[in-house]
Amino acid sequence: MTEPTAARVFQALADSTRRDMVERLTDHALSVSALAAPYEMSLTAVGQHLAILEAAGLVVTQKSGRVRTCALTRTGFDILEGWLKARRSPWEKHLDRLGDVLDDDHTI
């Protein structure tokens, strides 16, 4: 399987249907058919969207009996978070660390 990358994560989230799927999966897992219900598209099309979300490391699907379940997974979100953190300027990073040092140190 291909590795999730920032490009895949951004590409996956660039589509409003896929963002909606991610938002609807935030609180709990859903079966593929429950996930697909609100959309006017075939199950095949929903499956294609899910494949893109899976390749981006945002969603995992798991088959249990006759039901395939979709849930969010961390990998893609960690990539996003890493990307955002890397965009902080060196001084923002320094001053965040200053906060940590101040919190840790009771002698100064």
Partner 1 sequence: MTSPIVHHTFVIEKTYPHAVTKVYAAFADPTTKARWFAPGHPQPGATFESDFRVGGQERLTSIMGDNTPFPGAVLSSQALYLDIVADRRIVMGSNMMMNGTPFSGSLVSFEFEAAGDGTRLTCTHQGAFFENADGPQMREDGWRHLLDRLGETI
> Which tokens in the block code for residue 85?
């953190």
Q: Between 16 and 89, whose beta carbon lies closer to partner 1?
A: 89
Residues 59, 70 contacting (CB under 8 angstroms)? yes
With contacts defined by CB under 8 A, how many residues of the chain interact with partner 1? Answer: 25
Cα gap 40→4, rounded to integer Å: 28
Sort strands 67-72 and 59-64 into parallel, antiparallel or unpaired.
antiparallel
Residues 6+ apart with CB under 8 A from 96: 88
Question: 55 to 94, contacts with partner 1 by CB under 8 A?
Answer: 57, 75, 78-79, 82-83, 86, 89, 91-92, 94
Count CB atoms within 10 A of the CB of residue 105: 8
Q: Which of residues 6-65 bind partner 1 (CB under 8 A)?
A: 6, 57
DSSP 8-state secondary structure symbol assigned to residue 98: H
- Among the listed residues 40, 63, 66, 105, the single contact to partner 1 using CB under 8 A: 105
In the complex with partner 1, the residue whose CB is nearer, 37 or 71, is: 71
Minimum CB–partner distance for residue 97 and partner 1 (Å): 4
| Footprint on this chain of partner 1 (rule: CB under 8 A) | 3-6, 57, 75, 78-79, 82-83, 86, 89, 91-92, 94-95, 97-103, 105, 108
